[in-house]
Amino acid sequence: MELIDFSVKSLYVHIPFCKKICPYCDFIKVLENPKFIESYMKELLKDISFFINNDFKFNTIYIGGGTPSILSDGYLEILLSNLSKIKDNNAEFTIECNPESLNENKLKIFKKYKVNRISIGLQTFKKSLLKTLDRDYSIDYFELINLAKKYIKNINVDFIYGLPKQTIEDVKEDLNKFINLDINHVSLYSLQVEKNTEFYNKGIKEISSDKSAKMYNYILKFLEEHGFKRYEVSNFAKPGYESRHNLTYWKNEKYYAIGIGASGYVSNIRYKNSGNLSKYIKGLREKEEEILTLEDERKYYLICNLRLADGFNINEYNAKFNKNFLKDYKDEINFFSSVEAINIENNIVKCTNYGLLTLNLVLEKLL
């Protein structure tokens, strides 16, 4: 059913079910329903058996959603035990969790199957903002994270900033509370208002780029002062806690993806599985495929690697694509260096802070 490429070392697994649909969410998600969950899990296990039968061993496995932590203990056991068969001994094994569905029993199951990283969507500490997001605001995040720490060392939390009526003071408060959680990874996303979401239909607007940049700069300075390194536009980690799985995406490396709506990249093909649940549970595996030329791969390389604070190595780029970066982009390099959007040192090309904030403009010129 899949292309076989044993050099692929990462796998993404999508669990689309959610307890309720958040008004800002544009991910592939489905309201939970026991019948659908049962059929979906049956099909997903078939997809996993392809990797088991072919003796794959992944360095990173990421179970994302939707809400993977919504699965019952029984389904989590089945899912994780099967995935355990296709991971390397020292693999990074991540599961995404929502605060309201994470509990001690699930944490014990994660530990039993050597899940060694969890990512929890907190979004904000402020109850009135959580209400705007239609999220459960009754949970004590400190209690929850302290419980999680007893089982798993490597924890990420997600925040969203630029929420309606959120002030910079609110963002500061979220960051201060985050530091008190004493964990090693955080993702901070600026609110995106996408079509077909309740926020969009209500006319909620994203904050201005000026206000967003102000918040982002504050976040960056604050987290750097507290020992976090920004290693990607929205991701900050203490040394050694960078997400190996997400780095696969940003370094433009290959990964399989199973489950509805999930995107993968194998050989020279980028694919996106159909988001149609009824077809999936009938055993149909439709997907859109983009067959990449070397030139397409070169563009993806730039799009991905320029998001990384560490940038990319010019020699690697030149060898991979048979190009001469400094010569081909002479004018663009002069321009972006003069406005301090990119920086080239020791053969490494990186976006500066300003370059990351205006990444779309930088890429527009380079692609």
Ligand X SMILES: C[S@@+](CC[C@H](N)C(=O)[O-])C[C@H]1O[C@@H](n2cnc3c(N)ncnc32)[C@H](O)[C@@H]1O
Among ligand X, ligand SF4, none, residue 192 binds (CB under 5-8 Å by kind): ligand X
Contact with ligand X (CB under 6 A) among 2, 27, 134, 314: 27
Interaction between residue 136 and ligand X (CB under 6 A): no
CB 311 within 8 A of CB 351: yes
Which one-letter amino acid corresponds to residue 156?
Answer: N
CA separation, residue 157 to residues 19, 100, 187, 188 (Å): 19, 14, 6, 9
Residue 208 burial by CB count (10 A; 0-12/13-18/19+): exposed, middle or buried? exposed
Our CB check for ligand X shows the closer of 77 and 158 to be: 158
CA distance 154 to 149: 8
Interaction between residue 29 and ligand SF4 (CB under 6 A): yes
Nearest residue to ligand X on Cβ basis: 121
Contact with ligand X (CB under 6 A) among 12, 17, 24, 241: 24
Our CB check for ligand SF4 shows the closer of 122 and 342 to be: 122
- Residue 242 CB, shortest distance to ligand X, in Å, is 17
Task: Single out the segment in contact with ligand X by CB under 6 A; choices: 143-151, 184-192, 210-218, 340-348.
Answer: 184-192
Our CB check for ligand X shows the closer of 124 and 305 to be: 124
Interaction between residue 14 and ligand SF4 (CB under 6 A): no
Interaction between residue 259 and ligand X (CB under 6 A): no
- Phi, psi for 131 (deg, rounded to 5): -65, -45
Interaction between residue 185 and ligand SF4 (CB under 6 A): no
Helices (H), the chain: 34-53, 73-84, 104-112, 127-132, 141-149, 168-181, 198-201, 209-225, 244-250, 277-281, 294-305, 314-321, 325-328, 330-338, 353-357, 359-366
Interaction between residue 16 and ligand X (CB under 6 A): no
- Residue 172 CB, shortest distance to ligand SF4, in Å, is 24
Name the pairing type of β-strands 58-65 and 287-291. Answer: unpaired
Contact with ligand SF4 (CB under 6 A) among 2, 27, 103, 147: 27
CA distance 113 to 79: 10
Interaction between residue 18 and ligand SF4 (CB under 6 A): yes
Enumerate the β-bridge partners of residue 159.
123, 188
Interaction between residue 174 and ligand X (CB under 6 A): no
Interaction between residue 17 and ligand X (CB under 6 A): no
Query: Which spans of this chain sit near ligand SF4 (rule: CB under 6 A)?
Result: 18, 21-22, 25, 27, 29, 65-67, 98, 121
